[in-house]
Amino acid sequence: MKKSYILALDQGTTSSRAILFDQSGRKIAVEQKEIKQIYQQPGWVEQNANEIWASTLAVMSGVMLKANVREYEIAAIGIANQRETTIVWDKETGQPVYQAIVWQSRQTAAICEQLKQQGHEQMVKEKTGLLIDAYFSGTKLKWILDHVTGAREKAKKGQLLFGTVETWLIWKLSGGKVHVTDYSNASRTLLYNIYERKWDADLLAMLDVPEAMLPEVRPSSEIYGKTVNYHFFGLEVPIAGAAGDQQAALFGQACFEEGMAKNTYGTGCFMLMNTGEKAVTSKHGLLTTLAWGVDGKVEYALEGSVFVAGSAIQWLRDGLRMIKAAKDSEQYATRITSTDGVYVVPAFVGLGTPYWDSDVRGAVFGLTRGTSKEHFIRATLESLAYQTKDVLTAMEADSGIAVKTLRVDGGAVANHFLMQFQSDLLNVPVERAMIQETTALGAAYLAGLAVGFWKDKSEIAQQWAVERTFSPEMEEAERSALYQGWQKAVKAAMVFKS
Ligand SMILES: Nc1ncnc2c1ncn2[C@@H]1O[C@H](COP(=O)(O)OP(=O)(O)O)[C@@H](O)[C@H]1O
Ligand SMILES: O=P(O)(O)OC[C@H](O)CO
């Protein structure tokens, strides 16, 4: 029977998705399920790891039913995942010992402060390409080991396992047989030396993490194992690719050449630039990270991470109840021609690139008696574009490369107002990819390459197509005045700390 499809799993912060792709990179069917966010305390974000797994399983079977595709038609499964989110579970029972601590969560800010005071910053940057911040897995893992009674002892004996979301899903899919991660995910843990490519003894000691609980680090494209037949699949299907969702999107956007960049507008906003086999060190608050290991080669990327982007639109919907659905934001924003000087700084969980400040919180500036809901919504949407400009400016300074066009993807790129404003603000064309689910497509490509479904990267690059280009239309004077206003707003927000 012909193996005609790759099943891509995109386990994101807001939802779990399963997408079937055929050999031309065409999307056959999508199934999606939102997952619950748990806010136990201000600044904390957690999820139920069992729900992450159950929703993934549900969308897998759902997409196959929807497309009437049978398991024997699936060549391989690829996984892209929300990164850094930390899960610890019992090897015997398979039960998580604590909730999944989500990448956005700030509950380890105090641990980070202490590590900085102990003078670890330089070492961390030199080994991991990251900074000491609650964003990354390492301090979240330490927090679980510190707070769950007996956890560290059990972990030392190899009774507890650590994983980011792809590790957890592969372990579940393989019936508890395979405990692996890929280079891209390992590079986000704060425990992995991206230059020597190994779990680092100094970092493990710094966080008091036993090595016995860590997964094996593998390339992003290889057969890790097979699904066990007692799940949905009557057959054993190869699990053949995994990458953190942002690196997967870089791959799905076919940014294979040095200097090519993409920006993803999901819960957060993540811009990655491929820097090839060399790791570029940032002087402007970017992260140096592993892009992927493919074809026996490991490549690096520069990354700018914005913590709150699409989730600010969810806040308009769920918190402020100003809109019924995320897409309504566009109608409101275009009822007016300007925010009339209103700026929203959505620093709900601190600020990432280039500011790296855990303590700053959200703020609104420039309110007048004439400020309306429309101004508020438009300013929130614009904040995604301003934060992206902050990142692009840092990226150009660090890489010495002027980005000529920006490839974009993610849920919020459906918003035409936002895309046009983004192009205006950056003064470069913004290219929306034909397949907007480039994260899942990247995971599909990684898995497909491992099983020979696609021949090589050049075949993949040929499949990339632009669906729509947004070109800059704004006058320089307006562009710089708007951006200066944003810079003032961020500066002011950073004065008022939580
Ligand atoms: N039309 C829209 N305008 C603005 N934001 C949107 C729109 N549609 C979706 N979003 C935002 O995009 C995010 C979902 O994007 P997605 O790529 O699925 O995220 P993730 O991978 O982080 O789960 C949500 O935060 C949502 O608020
Ligand atoms: O789930 P997303 O798409 O917002 O991505 C989350 C990132 O991987 C966090 O680093």
> What DSSP state is assigned to residue 175?
T
Residue 368 tokens read as: 């007048």
CB 157 within 8 A of CB 151: no
User: Among 35, 83, 166, 181, which is best to mutate for testing ligand 2, by the most ligand atoms less than 8 A from CB?
Assistant: 83
Residue 498, pLDDT score: 64
Which ligand sits nearest to residue 315's alpha carbon? Answer: 1
Q: Measuring CA to CA, how many Å separate 189 from each of 39, 113, 128?
A: 22, 17, 9
Burial class (CB in 10 A: 0-12, 13-18, 19+), 458: exposed
Residue 368, pLDDT score: 96
- Give the mean model confidence (pLDDT) for residues 452-479: 94
- Ligand 1 center from residue 313 Cα (angstroms): 8
CB under 6 Å to ligand 2: residues? Answer: 12-13, 82-84, 103, 244-246, 266-268
Burial class (CB in 10 A: 0-12, 13-18, 19+), 473: exposed
Nearest Cα residue to 352 out of 84, 79, 143: 84
Residue 359, pLDDT score: 85
- Ligand 1 center from residue 475 Cα (angstroms): 29
**Span 39-54, pLDDT tens digits:** 999 889 999 999 999 9
- Give the mean model confidence (pLDDT) for residues 171-191: 96
Residue 223, pLDDT score: 97
List Cβ neighbours of 101 (8 Å cut-off, separation of 6 or more): 45, 46, 85, 86, 107, 108, 140, 143, 144
- pTM of full prediction above 0.90: yes
Minimum-distance ligand 2 atom for the alpha carbon of 12: 1
Mean of pLDDT over the chain: 94
Establish whether residue 326 lines the binding site of ligand 1, counting it when its CB lies within 6 angstroms of any ligand atom: yes
Buried b (16+ CB within 10 A) or exposed e, 22-46: eeebebbbbbbeebebeeeeebbbb
Q: Compute the distance between CA of residue 123 and CA of residue 222 in angstroms, rounded to an integer.
A: 31
List Cβ neighbours of 310 (8 Å cut-off, separation of 6 or more): 14, 265, 266, 267, 268, 326, 384, 410, 411, 412
Residue 8, pLDDT score: 97
> What DSSP state is assigned to residue 68?
T
**Span 309-341, pLDDT tens digits:** 999 999 999 999 999 999 999 999 999 999 999
- Ligand 2 center from residue 267 Cα (angstroms): 7
**Span 69-112, pLDDT tens digits:** 988 899 999 999 999 999 999 999 999 999 999 999 999 999 99
% of the chain with per-residue pLDDT over 70? 98
Going by pLDDT thresholds of 50, 70 and 90, the confidence category of residue 401 is confident
Establish whether residue 463 lines the binding site of ligand 1, counting it when its CB lies within 6 angstroms of any ligand atom: no
Residue nearest to atom 6 of ligand 2 (CA): 82
CB 181 within 8 A of CB 173: no
Which ligand sits nearest to residue 381's alpha carbon? Answer: 1
**Span 227-250, pLDDT tens digits:** 986 666 667 899 999 999 999 999
- Give the mean model confidence (pLDDT) for residues 436-442: 93
Residue 366: pLDDT over 70: yes
Helix axes 373-399, 416-426, angle to 10 degrees: 40
Residue 392, pLDDT score: 94
